[in-house]
Amino acid sequence: MTKIPHYNDGSDNPPRLRIQQSLWALGRLPMNSKVEWTLTEKLAHVKEAGFEAVECWLSDATEMEHYEALQAAGLNLVLGHRPYKLQDVKNEVDRALRLNADFLFMQPADSFTPLEDVVTMVKEGMAYASEHGKICFVETHRSNFTENLPQTLQLIDAVPEIAITADLSHFVVVGEFYGWKEERAVDRMLPVLEHTAHIHGRISNGEAVQVDVADGSGETAQFFVGLWSTAMRAWQRTAVAGDIFPFTSELGPPRYAITLPDGSEFSDRWEQSFVIASLAKQAWKLASSDSTI
């Protein structure tokens, strides 16, 4: 298999897991409060909780405000974007250079875009990023070209050097996986897992894309730990000094979050983000203990 790009910090440190947060996931926090945390407050909570970086989707109008706030908080920046053409990717790479973002990821086009168009955008976009010293991952996500396994597998076949941001909650809800052995979820997702270099931590029960997993010991959460550890194990096999595996706790606000009839949330996403982080560490430890898939 072609070696996929890894995010590398240029150090001599052993390969490691890095836990991140998503700015979008901090929306409407604290839970059911009439006053949302300010950007400064959000980043202060993220830093205090031990997250190392924040994923942001920025525009020309908002980039400096967020860059300066992240700098003040001592947090690294990761950029997300949704391109429909190659120039969109190039523009975001240029933003990553301006803001010294660690890396970026794309949600490519939509499911109605022809494969050949997406292949061109992904191949040339990744190459443009690499030429400028940046890594660009491709996210698996509903309403993108990568919204289902068959299309994503076609993209991997066409772009074997692709590095994936795996948000497996989308595949699980689209494919209605429950984690049963007979579903062969790992086998079916294996090409995606073997190309994964970044994970978005959200858990689906096969029907809802985001569910509360309590303390993470239940079958639904542990099913995801198994998927994540398979991806991490494959990544570890080719990791070198300085390589970092980013894992983002990404629990979205409503309408991702399930609400009561009055619109209030019954699950504290901030507290659940710590559970997701602990599950990521569990998956990393599991991956490190066994070199076989």
Residue 87 structure tokens: 């120039």
104 three-class SS: strand
- Cα angle vertex 252, ends 200, 108, to 5°? 55
In a domain, 17, yes or no: yes
Is the pTM higher than 0.95?
yes
What is the rounded CA–CA span in Å between residue 2 and residue 191? Answer: 12
- Domain assignment of residue 45, yes or no: no
Tell whether 217 is covered by a domain: yes
Q: Looking at the domain assignment, is residue 88 inside a domain? A: no
Structural domains counted in the chain: 1
Q: Is residue 25 part of a domain?
A: yes
Q: According to the model, what pLDDT value does residue 291 have?
A: 46
* Cβ pair 236, 293 in contact under 8 A: no
State the Cα–Cα distance between residues 148 and 150, nearest whole angstrom: 6
Q: Is residue 13 part of a domain?
A: yes
pLDDT of residue 117: 98
Give a yes or no: residue 37 inside a domain: no
Q: Which of 78, 137, 79, 149 is nearest to 108 (CA)?
A: 137
> Quick one: which of 267, 155, 156, 178 has its CA closest to 227?
178
pLDDT tens for each residue of the chain, 293 residues long: 688 999 999 999 999 999 999 999 999 999 999 999 999 999 999 999 999 999 999 999 999 999 999 999 999 999 999 999 999 999 999 999 999 999 999 999 999 999 999 999 999 999 999 999 999 999 999 999 999 999 999 999 999 999 999 999 999 999 999 999 999 999 999 999 999 999 999 999 999 999 999 999 999 999 999 999 999 999 999 999 999 999 999 999 999 999 999 999 999 999 999 999 999 999 999 999 964 43
Supply the pLDDT for residue 2.
82
In a domain, 57, yes or no: no
Domain that holds residue 151: 7-32+109-288
Angle between helices 149-158 and 115-131 (to 10 degrees): 50
